[in-house]
Amino acid sequence: MSEEFISEPIVPVGSTFDAGRMAAGEPGVPREFSWRKRTFKVKKIKRSWKKTGPCTHGSGERYVRKHFYEIETGDGETMTVYFDRTSGKSKLGRERWWLFSRARA
């Protein structure tokens, strides 16, 4: 299986977020999202991890910058998506969810 680097924003579908993760202080992983004019359903979260970074104001604290999720889609594909807590404004608005990579058989 080879992994293809994507790094493109995805658009969560409406109110399909996982409220259980939100209650635990994490972003609610969308149960559906669109990418390149196609909709994907999240069948299962296989694993998750976080990327941290130092405070940008000089203190010694570390903050979570990104939440990564390796998911299996309804079509059986494996993708890695992430939520970016630090993303800024773009022409399209604030892009918080990204497709990092996609595994191909």
- Please name the amino acid found at residue 32: E
- Distance from C-alpha of 46 to C-alpha of 87, rounded to nearest angstrom: 25
pLDDT of residue 94: 65
- Report the percentage of the chain scoring pLDDT > 70: 91
**pTM of the predicted model as reported, rounded to 2 decimal places:** 0.85
Give per-residue pLDDT as tens, 13-53.
988 888 888 878 888 899 999 999 999 999 999 999 999 98
DSSP string, 47-93: EEEEEEEE-TTS-S-EEEEEEEEEEEETTS-EEEEEEETT--EETTE
Q: What are phi and psi of 21, to 5 degrees?
A: -70, -35
